Structure 1
Amino acid sequence: MKLHLHKSDLQYQINGVDAETITINYQPCTQSIIVSAEALSSDWFSGPWETLDAERLAEILAFKPEVVLLGTGDKQRFIHPRHIQVFLEQNIAVECMTTPAACRTFNILTAEGRHVVAALLLEKHLAAG
C-alpha cells in the first residue's frame, strides 16, 4: 500500500491529551484552552463546573465558530439549556463531550475544513475552585 505524507496547512493541531495536559503543536498546555485551527486562547477557565457561566462561554463566540466542541473534563457534563440557546440563536452547533473526545473530534472536523472551535477543560482545573 502506498502512503503519502499529508502536511496540514492548519496553524493549530491537537497532538495529545491526558488528565493534566493538552498538547497543541507538540507544545504542552496545562491550562484549559479555547482553540481553533487559526487561533489559541490559553488559561480560559478554572473553577468548579457549576461556575462556568454565560460570560465565560461567550468568549468562545469571538472565534466565530460554525461548531463548538465543549470538552468537559474526564466525564461528560452538559451546560444549561439557556447557554446552549445563545449558540443556537447564532446558528452555531454546540456539543458537550469529554475533553479527550472533543480533541479527537476537533482534529477530524478541522481536517474536513470545518470551522470548529474547541473549548477544552482539564479535570484538575474543574476541581480547583
Structure 2
Amino acid sequence: MKLQPDRSDAQTISGYGPGWVAVGTEKITHNVVIASSGERIRWAEGYDALGPADFEVLANLQVEVVIFGSGARLRFPRPAWLAPLAEKRIGIETMDTAAACRTYNILAQEGREVAVALLLAPAP
C-alpha cells in the first residue's frame, strides 16, 4: 500500500507491504525502529526473540509514545518487557504492522515525538 503524507519535517513511512517498509525511497526489509526525529535503528530478530533489552532501546529514544507493530497479526508484548518504558513514563500502543505504519504517520505529522517499532512479517 502506498502512503502519501502531508508536508512534514518528520520522517514518515511512504509505503509498506509483506516483509518491507519504505521511508522515502529507501526500502527496509528488516525489523526496524523509526523515530519522527529521524533516527532509524535495526531492531529485534522477531517476536519470539523479544525481551526487556529491546524495549530499553525504545525507552532511550526520548519520545512521548511508541507504536509497536507486532507483525501481520496482533500480538501484545509481555508486561515485563515494558518496564523500561513505564519507568520513563513513555506510552506504548500495540497494533498490527500495517496499522502501526498509518498511526505513526498521523502522529509524526502532528508534530508529536513518536517512534514506531516494526516487526516485518516475511512475504509469503
Query: What per-residue deviation string (whole Å, max 9, x for no partner) do you get for residues 39-62 of structure 1?
Result: 333431224x22201111211122
Deviation at 1:37, TM superposition (A): 1.5
Match of 1:51 among 49, 52, 55: 49
> Which TM-score applies when normalising by structure 2?
0.86
Deviation at 1:115, TM superposition (A): 0.6
SS in 2 for 1:35: strand
Does the aligned pair in 1 maintain the 2:13–2:22 contact within 8 Å?
yes
Q: Gaps (5+ residues) in structure 1? A: 1-5
Aligned to 2:9: 9
Out of 61-70 and 78-87, give the one that drifted further.
78-87
SS in 2 for 1:7: coil
For residues 98 and 114 of structure 1, the distance between their equivalents in structure 2, rounded to whole angstroms, comes to 21
Aligned to 1:28: 27
Q: Does 1:38 align with 2:32?
A: no
For residues 85 and 58 of structure 2, the distance between their equivalents in structure 1, rounded to whole angstroms, comes to 10
> Which TM-score applies when normalising by structure 1?
0.83
Q: Gaps (5+ residues) in structure 2? A: 1-5
**Percentage identity across aligned positions?**
31
Aligned to 1:80: 78
Deviation at 1:35, TM superposition (A): 0.6
Does the aligned pair in 1 maintain the 2:59–2:90 contact within 8 Å?
no
Deviation at 1:87, TM superposition (A): 1.4
Q: Does 1:119 align with 2:117?
A: yes
Q: After TM superposition, what 4+ stretches of structure 1 lie above 6 angstroms from structure 2? A: none
Work out which of the two has the higher radius of gyration on C-alpha atoms and give 1 or 2: 1
